[in-house]
């Protein structure tokens, strides 16, 4: 009954079993939101603002309603919905809550902001309708940069946020830090900016809303990472009890964070559907997804670090400013990026003194949401640049200076008050270096330098905090605090198990990996285990999938629930086998007597008693085979870690950065399914490379976004992303039910730093250093040509 | 991103196609592979009232040699040219090799030579090749047929000499160009070039006795660069030094746009590198 | 708007070997007709301007973007979609290679890559890894980083060649 995928010691956990998700995805039988067809369904799109800042002076939809096929069109006034407001439990001096209306009322704050919703019989007619809308504006002056936002007397994006600042926190400020900088033998600084990016799941956002008259429920089928959160907000905005809303998530084509916030379009579509009494579908088109959805990552760092002569870091001082765009996302708020950066910037290093100021500003650009890694790709990049720069100043090797500063004894409580569980920081760096050394890249670099070619080698070391529990999120002072997860497990009369999870897989393979956990706990074949997710009526309240929390927290809950179900099976089995409870065990889908393996009962036998012959159950056991468990993150969570080593060549004629070698040494504790872990790492690294070298959304002076198509927004292809070798280390987590650490974001976190360091290593002969991303060929060539012209 | 409405008509022959477009008026367009027109319609940047689908005009899909000349039918796809056997493109390898720069395989299986020329993108490989090799663009319209020299075909940004009801029938490359090459650079595989450079060298006894240099991405139309060509006409030794000088001359001669996206200086640098590279590749053929 | 222009046309399409008749506006793309009129929702849409390749299908055996083709243009041609791969519950060799190599995560891009590879390998059974990578660069995947997609296609091609050799031996 066990398959080849099984590990040698007979467990599912640790085996690269084929995914349960795959057959339907490979045959076209999966069901994504846009695959849903309902009778009488209408198609929605949005009239969107064409100006970045201004007052709406009129909205005339009368011609829209005359377009053939158009059924209805509504403005904010027509639908009269509550606002979406993300709140932090912080004083107003630190955080200013701002409301995001579902449809813009009298003011618009970015190009693409939804103003009206149009419903039509098909997806073509609805676009004809949009063209007939007439909106007039009194355009204001848009605020589009840090300079413009913070200038005295700048126009305000939100009247309540004076200075256009939504969050301003100063943290840690170790006593005497100024003296440390004054006395230190070596002080280096980095100013870096990172480009505004789009998380860009290949499936855009979408929703189908319909009224289920029999259940008296609004059914909202949507691709969200956080179904329960969407239900809560929907019910709030619509002013109806939560039990009358059901959110169901079908198959989902990626999310990467953009789908873990509540979008205003979902709410408008639901309201419009209720209004017209027909199902309504909205599928975001790519143009809107690129310009009017949630973006991320536009940050500016001004950081300095003090070092002693031996290259040991003495202090870190950083000013972090994040351009969060026009609105605060729900539930995380505009504080998400600066708070993450401020709290965690010291990372894997022993930083004795730390001071940080983190700010979120609001501008007339599309709003932002968490995106895979949230600030960590940026602050890791800045930290790693600081170390490289110090190494140059002190004449140390870039790897050596890191070795002298990495945390090596655990648990370690940092200057930022976070306690790090054991990891393999030093070991992973050493291994990454060894891989590149043994392959001869350093020799190759010397060789090519002789020919006037530019080869560079770069590293990054980082950790990834995962499994944030309620306590950890409470430290962020969110008004709603995510953290725990609940799992309910049920065995039916055929001996098949269904376990629910409040997490929401959208590519991460949870239907497989969580089933592996359950199968082991119950001694069951994987084919008999099913994971159920993404239905607020069938799954207990859960926080969805983000922040690499699914396996650590969701997986732990599932494991605990399975354990409880196992106890019940043992209890009943022992009773039916007429033996002591401690003389039975679970294996191969049976309860066996320990002292006599020939005596056993199959789960089907036990299920039959539990459901169909309940009179045979022990007196202290309830009928049925169900169990429930919850799990919450422990302490500060658990930290996976990795080191990346990269080799690049810069091409002199074009400035092209070619990645010749990419090695990733990762440690995520127990890998439930190594192939899935590698997939997460590779995919994450690809996104990190995209941010380092290719992708950016810019705006012209009017606030018009530059990239409305894939021609301009340069998602890299197979020719730009290199093959990546993955090397596993394993430091099991003591804080999760299965020894696993989260692994969803690491690749993305480490890649920009490693690539940037490699590029700068290659640029060494030019004396130019590039600290801003994306590093386009144009900028590389500029750097290379500086050298030519100054010669 | 759904296209606006239009009337769909399928042409049976060349005369019928042009007559129909003439009759339907200004807002009627030919539809060939659709790889330029349909994306623009999906963005609603183009809104023809009528499309006359010419894809069934099988007689316009061919690759033919007559003596020295290479004839490419307007409906021949990029992919058909890319997969052409050696003998049919002998002396014109540059045409076949240039195809791999056009987008990606699924674009090339639909997009056509005629559509590319009619679309008139200044970085389009077909437009550069036509200007480089002095091609003749043969057209048909209700007023008869005519031959447009490629050098005169491109008037400005996506604007050609074609009348709305004028159909490209074929493009004719008049004489072999054994030492020609096209190269380009884009940030990402398959993208339209930031800068494309095509050169055609006359080589004799290790010396370059004449040549042509055509650039895309530096002007609204494919641009010949006489200043660079002059260097190639002086009978100098065919070596890296000459090619580098040619690249520099081309870079100095152009005045690329400095709009959004890659700046003028960068484009000029690319010209320098790519012209030199194209020369090397042309010589190596 | 000119009403004559909105007239629907009756199309007869050969999809996966069977004939289908649909009455649609001429502006309907092949992608939309496949997905919404024929309910073959395996073909996906993720850009509608020809770059992502999620909508890739085979037309007369060649991979094309079905978002850049009107259904009317497909009349008289043979269209193949992901639903034609494999038989019933049995995966094709290419699909098996994808699952074995973990060449899909969210799976949204997968039908496009499968049809791209199917068309590409039919024409180029001997393609090198570099050539396969180049072909794979036709489509976008945001999850995998592409390496395992290249692995899967390369492996499938190698197995097909091996099978071919034993057949002819
Ligand atoms: C993602 C993507 C990437 C691309 N990359 C490149 C690239 O790198 N380089 C490149 O050159 N192109 C590129 N293209 C465009 C592609 O090459 C097109 O195929 C080509 O530009 C137009 O050919 P078509 O047959 O598709 O023409 P269509 O799109 O059908 O028509 C284009 C225009 O030409 C007119 N027309 C078509 N045929 C004729 C004719 N015989 N006579 C008169 N007028 C005619 C049409 O009315 C229309 O105005 C790309 C396209 C896409 C979608
Ligand atoms: S949807 Fe057709 S290429 Fe993207
Ligand atoms: S697997 Fe998600 S986009 Fe490719």
Residues in chain B with CB shorter than 8 Å from the CB of C32 are: 2
Q: C54 CB under 6 A from ligand 2?
A: yes
Tell me yes or no: is domain A374-467+636-783 CATH 1.20.1290.10. Answer: no
Ligand nearest to the CA of C148: 3
Q: What is the pLDDT of residue A482?
A: 84
Ligand located closest to A21 CA: 3
**According to the model, what pLDDT value does residue A505 have?**
85
Task: Label residues B47-79 b or e (16+ Cβ within 10 Å = b).
Answer: ebbbbbbbbbbeebbebeeeeeebbbbbbbbbb
Residue C79 has pLDDT above 70, yes or no: yes
Provide, as residue numbers in chain B, all residues whose Cβ is less than 8 Å from the Cβ of C68. Answer: 34-35, 38-39, 42, 107, 110
At residue A9, the pLDDT reads 67
Report the nearest atom of ligand 1 relative to the CA of B75: 41
Q: What is the mean predicted confidence (pLDDT) over A493-502? A: 94
Q: Categorize the per-residue pLDDT at A629 as very low, low, confident or very high, splitting at 50, 70 and 90.
A: very high
The predicted-structure confidence for B241-256, as pLDDT tens digits, reads as follows 999 999 999 999 999 9
Question: Identical fold at A374-467+636-783 and A484-631?
Answer: yes
Residue A691, exposed/middle/buried by CB under 10 A (0-12, 13-18, 19+)? buried
Contacting subunits of B (3+ beta carbon pairs below 8 A): A, C
- Subunit partners of chain A (3 or more CB pairs within 8 A): B, C
Asked if the domains at C7-84 and C93-168 fall in one CATH topology, the answer is: no
The gap between the terminal CA atoms of chain C, to the nearest Å, is: 65
Ligand 3 centroid from CA C144, angstroms: 6
The architecture of the domain spanning C93-168 is Orthogonal Bundle (1.10)
Cβ-based contacts of B185 with chain A (< 8 Å)? 654, 656, 777
Ligand nearest to the CA of B190: 1
Burial A483-510 (b: 16+ CB within 10 A, else e): bbbbbbbbbbeebbbbbbbbbbbbbbbb
Q: What is the model's pLDDT at position A552?
A: 87
User: In this complex, do C141 and A202 lie within 8 Å of one another by their Cβ atoms?
Assistant: yes
**Which ligand ends up closest to the CA of B130?**
1
pLDDT (0 to 100) of residue A1: 36
- Say how many residues make up chain B: 285
What is the pLDDT at residue A737? 79
Give the mean model confidence (pLDDT) for residues A186-196: 97
Over residues A513-542, mean pLDDT: 92
pLDDT band at C4 (very low <50, low <70, confident <90, very high): very low
* Contact residues, chain C, for A37 at CB < 8 Å: 36, 39
Q: What is the DSSP letter of B174?
A: -
Alpha helix (H) ranges present in A310-362?
336-344
Q: Is the pLDDT score of A470 beyond 90?
A: no
Asked if residue A115 has pLDDT above 70, the reply is yes
Q: Quick one: pLDDT band at residue C2, thresholds 50, 70, 90?
A: very low
Instruction: Reply yes or no on whether the pLDDT at A419 is more than 60.
Output: yes
Is the CB–ligand 2 distance for residue C52 below 6 Å?
yes
All residues of chain C having their beta carbon less than 8 Å from the beta carbon of residue B49 are 2, 5
Q: How large is the ipTM?
A: 0.96
Nearest-atom index, ligand 1, CA of B101? 8
* A567: Cβ contacts below 8 Å, ≥ 6 apart: A627
| Structural domain boundaries in chain C | 7-84, 93-168
Tell me: pLDDT of A2 over 50.
no
User: Is A43 in the C-facing interface, judged by CB distances under 8 Å?
Assistant: no
Distance CA(A520)–CA(A337), nearest Å, equals: 38
CA distance readout (Å), B282 to B203, B207, B239, B249: 10, 13, 12, 18
B164 in contact with ligand 1, CB cutoff 6 A: no
pLDDT digits (tens, 9 = 90+) for A18-42: 999 999 999 999 999 999 999 999 9
Do B38 and C25 count as a contact with CB atoms less than 8 A apart? no
Sorted by where each begins, the domain ranges of chain A are 33-140+204-252+259-291, 374-467+636-783, 484-631
Q: In Å, how far is C169's CA from the nearest CA of chain A?
A: 31
How sure is the predictor about A371, in pLDDT bands with cuts at 50, 70 and 90?
very high
For the Cβ of B173 lying below 6 angstroms from any atom of ligand 1, the answer is: no
As a whole number of angstroms, the distance between CA A478 and CA C118 comes to: 49
Average pLDDT of the residues in C95-108 = 98
**Pairing of the two strands C78-80 and C9-15:** parallel
Domains, chain B, in order of start with CATH, read 7-53 (3.30.43.10), 58-173 (3.30.465.10), 180-284 (3.30.390.50)
Q: Report chain C's mean pLDDT, rounded to a whole number.
A: 95
Say how far apart CA B130 and CA B135 lie, in whole Å.
5
Cα C140 to ligand 3 centre (Å) = 8
Mean pLDDT, to the nearest integer, of A255-268?
A: 94
Residues of A whose CB is below 8 A from B43: 287, 709
Pocket around ligand 3: residues whose beta carbon is below 6 Å from it?
A 202, 254, 507; C 104-109, 141-144
- From residue B136, how far is each of A65, B30, B111, B139, B182 by CA, in Å? 51, 20, 20, 10, 19
Surface of A (247-306) touching B: CB under 8 A: 285-287
Which site among C63, C74, C76 would you substitute to test the B interface, given the most B Cβ atoms closer than 10 Å to its Cβ? C63
**What's the confidence (pLDDT) of residue A611?**
96
Whether A711 sits inside 8 A of B191 (CB atoms) is yes
CATH H-level, domain A33-140+204-252+259-291: superfamily: Aldehyde oxidase/xanthine dehydrogenase, a/b hammerhead (3.90.1170.50)
Average pLDDT over residues A336-351: 96
Chain C neighbours among A 281-340 (CB < 8 Å)? 285-286
Inter-residue contact A693 to C111 (CB < 8 Å): no
Strands annotated E in chain C: 9-15, 18-24, 56-59, 62-65, 78-80
Q: Is C13 left (phi over 0), alpha (psi -120 to 50) or beta?
A: beta
Q: Is the CB of B39 under 6 A from ligand 1?
A: yes
User: Of A508-512, B40-44, B166-170, C61-65, which range is least confident?
Assistant: A508-512
Beta bridge partners of B230: none
- pLDDT greater than 90 at residue A171: yes
- Percent over 70 (pLDDT), chain A: 98
pLDDT at C159 over 50: yes
pLDDT tens string A309-342: 999 999 999 999 999 999 999 998 999 999 999 9
Gap from CA of C56 to ligand 2 centroid (Å): 7
Q: Is CATH 3.30.365.10 correct for A484-631?
A: yes
Pick one of 3.50.50.60, 3.30.1540.10, 1.10.287.610, 3.10.20.30 as the CATH number of C7-84. Answer: 3.10.20.30
| C-beta atoms of C47 and A27 within 8 A | no
Instruction: Give pLDDT, residue A467.
Output: 84
Distance, in Å, from the CA atom of A396 to the CA atom of A407, rounded to the nearest integer, reads 19
Contacts of B110 in chain C (CB under 8 A): 64-65, 68-69
Residues in chain B, pLDDT under 50: none
Q: Please give the pLDDT value at position A789.
A: 52
C112 within ligand 2 shell (Cβ under 6 A): no
User: What pLDDT is attached to residue A541?
Assistant: 87
pLDDT in tens, B110-163: 999 999 999 999 999 999 999 999 999 999 999 999 999 999 999 999 999 999
The reported pLDDT for the residue numbered B174 is 97
pLDDT score of A787: 55
Q: Which residue of A has its CA nearest to C43?
A: A28
Touching A: C residues 133-162, CB under 8 Å:
133-134, 136-150
Binning pLDDT at 50, 70 and 90, where does residue A550 land? confident
């Amino acid at each position: 009954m066990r398959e080849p995928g099984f590990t040698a010691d007979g467990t599912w956990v640790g085996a690269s079993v084929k995914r349960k998700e795959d057959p339907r995805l490979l045959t076209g039988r999966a069901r994504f939101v846009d695959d849903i067809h309902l009778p009488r369904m209408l198609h929605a799109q949005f009239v969107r603002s064409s100006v970045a800042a201004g007052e709406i002076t009129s909205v005339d939809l009368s011609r829209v309603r005359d377009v053939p096929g158009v059924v209805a069109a509504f403005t904010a006034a027509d639908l009269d919905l509550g606002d979406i407001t993300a709140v932090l439990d912080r004083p107003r001096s630190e955080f200013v809550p701002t409301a995001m209306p579902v449809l813009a009322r009298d003011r618009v704050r970015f190009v693409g902001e939804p103003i009206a919703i149009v419903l039509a019989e098909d997806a073509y007619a609805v676009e004809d309708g949009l063209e007939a809308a007439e909106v007039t504006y009194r355009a204001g002056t848009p605020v589009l940069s840090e300079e413009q936002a913070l200038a005295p007397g700048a126009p305000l994006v939100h009247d309540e946020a004076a200075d256009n600042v939504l969050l301003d926190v100063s943290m840690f400020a170790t006593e005497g830090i100024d003296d440390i900088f004054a006395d230190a033998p070596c002080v280096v600084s980095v100013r870096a900016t990172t480009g505004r990016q789009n998380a860009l799941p290949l499936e855009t956002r979408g929703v189908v809303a319909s009224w289920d008259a029999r259940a008296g429920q609004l059914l909202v089928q949507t691709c969200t990472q956080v179904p329960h959160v969407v239900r809560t907000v929907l019910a709030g905005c619509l002013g109806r009890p939560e039990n009358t809303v059901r959110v169901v998530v079908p198959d989902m084509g990626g999310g990467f964070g953009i789908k873990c916030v509540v979008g205003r379009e979902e709410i408008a579509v639901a309201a419009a559907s209720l209004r017209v009494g027909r199902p309504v579908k909205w599928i975001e088109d790519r143009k809107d997804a690129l310009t009017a959805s949630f973006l991320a990552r536009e940050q500016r760092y001004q950081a300095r670090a003090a070092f002693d002569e031996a290259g040991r870091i003495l202090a870190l001082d950083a000013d972090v400013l994040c351009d969060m765009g026009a609105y605060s996302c729900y539930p995380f708020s505009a504080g998400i990026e600066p708070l993450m950066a401020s709290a965690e910037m010291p990372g894997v290093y022993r930083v004795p003194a730390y001071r940080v100021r983190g700010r979120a500003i609001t501008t007339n650009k599309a709003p932002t949401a968490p995106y895979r890694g949230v600030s960590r790709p940026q602050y890791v990049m800045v930290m790693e640049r600081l170390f490289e720069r110090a190494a140059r100043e002190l004449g140390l090797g870039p790897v050596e200076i890191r070795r002298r500063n990495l945390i090596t004894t655990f648990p370690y409580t940092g200057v930022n008050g976070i306690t790090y569980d054991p990891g393999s920081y030093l070991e992973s760096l050493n291994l990454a270096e060894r891989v590149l050394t043994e392959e001869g890249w350093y020799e190759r670099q010397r060789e090519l330098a002789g020919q006037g070619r530019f080869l560079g080698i770069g590293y990054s070391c980082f950790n990834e905090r995962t499994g944030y529990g309620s306590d950890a999120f409470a430290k962020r002072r969110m008004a709603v605090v995510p953290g725990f997860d609940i799992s309910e497990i049920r065995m039916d009369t055929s001996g098949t198990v269904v376990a629910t999870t409040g997490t929401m897989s959208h590519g991460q393979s949870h239907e497989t990996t969580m089933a592996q956990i359950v199968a082991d706990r119950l001694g069951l074949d994987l084919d008999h285990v099913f994971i159920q997710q993404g239905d607020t009526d069938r799954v207990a309240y859960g926080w969805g999938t983000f922040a690499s929390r699914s396996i650590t927290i969701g997986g732990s809950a599932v494991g605990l629930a399975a354990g409880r179900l196992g106890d019940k099976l043992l209890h009943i089995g022992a009773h039916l086998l007429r033996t002591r409870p401690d003389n039975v065990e679970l294996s191969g889908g049976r309860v066996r007597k320990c002292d006599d393996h020939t005596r056993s009962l199959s789960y089907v036998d036990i299920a039959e008693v539990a459901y169909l012959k309940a009179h045979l159950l022990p007196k202290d056991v309830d009928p049925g085979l169900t169990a429930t468990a919850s799990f919450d993150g422990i302490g500060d969570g658990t930290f996976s870690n990795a080191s990346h080593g990269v080799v690049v060549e810069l091409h002199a004629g074009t400035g092209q950065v070619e990645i010749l070698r990419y090695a990733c040494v990762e440690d995520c504790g127990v890998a439930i399914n190594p192939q899935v872990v590698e997939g997460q790492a590779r995919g994450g690294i690809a996104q990190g490379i995209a941010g380092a070298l290719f992708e950016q959304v810019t705006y012209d002076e009017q606030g018009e976004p530059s990239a409305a198509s894939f021609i301009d927004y340069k998602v890299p292809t197979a020719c730009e992303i290199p093959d990546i070798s993955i090397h596993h280390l394993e430091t099991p987590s003591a804080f999760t039910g299965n020894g696993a650490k989260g692994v969803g974001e690491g690749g993305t976190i480490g890649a920009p730093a490693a690539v940037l360091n490699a590029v700068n290593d290659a640029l060494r002969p030019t004396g130019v250093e590039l600290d801003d991303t994306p590093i386009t060929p144009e900028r590389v060539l500029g750097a290379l040509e500086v050298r030519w012209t100054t010669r | 991103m759904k296209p606006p409405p239009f009337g769909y008509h399928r042409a049976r022959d060349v005369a019928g196609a042009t007559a129909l477009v003439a009759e339907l008026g200004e807002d009627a367009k030919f539809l060939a592979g659709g790889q330029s027109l349909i994306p623009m319609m999906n963005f609603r940047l183009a809104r023809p009232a009528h499309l006359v689908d010419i894809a069934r005009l099988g007689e316009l899909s061919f690759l033919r040699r007559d003596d020295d000349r290479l004839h490419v039918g307007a409906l021949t796809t990029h992919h058909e040219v890319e997969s052409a056997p050696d003998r049919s493109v002998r002396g014109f390898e540059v045409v076949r090799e240039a195809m791999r720069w056009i987008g990606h395989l699924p674009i090339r299986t639909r997009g056509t030579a005629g559509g590319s020329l009619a679309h008139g993108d200044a970085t389009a490989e077909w437009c550069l090749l036509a200007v480089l090799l002095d091609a003749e663009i043969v057209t048909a319209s209700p007023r008869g047929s005519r031959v447009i020299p490629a050098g005169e075909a491109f008037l400005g940004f996506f604007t050609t000499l074609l009348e709305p009801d004028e159909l490209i029938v074929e493009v004719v490359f008049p004489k072999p160009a054994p030492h020609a090459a096209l190269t380009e650079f884009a940030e990402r595989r398959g993208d339209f070039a930031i800068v494309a450079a095509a050169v055609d060298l006359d080589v004799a006894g290790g010396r370059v006795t004449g040549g042509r240099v055509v650039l895309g991405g530096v002007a609204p139309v494919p641009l010949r660069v006489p200043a660079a060509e002059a260097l190639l006409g002086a009978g100098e030794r065919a070596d890296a030094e000459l090619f580098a000088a040619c690249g520099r001359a081309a870079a100095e001669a152009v005045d690329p746009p400095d709009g959004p996206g890659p700046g003028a200086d960068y484009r000029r640098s690319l010209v320098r590198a790519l012209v030199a590279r194209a020369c090397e590749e042309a010589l190596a053929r | 708007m000119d009403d004559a222009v909105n007239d629907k046309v009756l199309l007869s399409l050969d999809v996966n070997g069977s004939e289908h008749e649909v009455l649609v506006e001429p502006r309907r793309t092949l992608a939309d007709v496949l997905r919404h009129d024929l309910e073959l929702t395996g073909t996906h849409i993720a850009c509608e301007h020809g770059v992502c390749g999620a909508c890739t299908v085979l037309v007369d055996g060649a991979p094309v973007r079905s978002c850049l083709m009107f259904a009317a243009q497909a009349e008289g041609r043979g269209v193949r979609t992901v639903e034609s791969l494999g038989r019933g519950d049995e995966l094709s060799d290419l699909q098996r290679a994808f699952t074995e190599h973990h060449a899909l995560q969210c799976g949204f891009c997968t039908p496009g890559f499968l049809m791209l590879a199917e068309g590409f390998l039919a024409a180029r059974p001997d393609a090198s890894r570099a050539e396969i990578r180049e072909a794979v660069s036709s489509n976008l995947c945001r999850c995998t980083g592409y390496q395992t997609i290249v692995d899967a296609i390369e492996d499938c091609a190698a197995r097909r060649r091996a099978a071919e050799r034993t057949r002819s031996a």
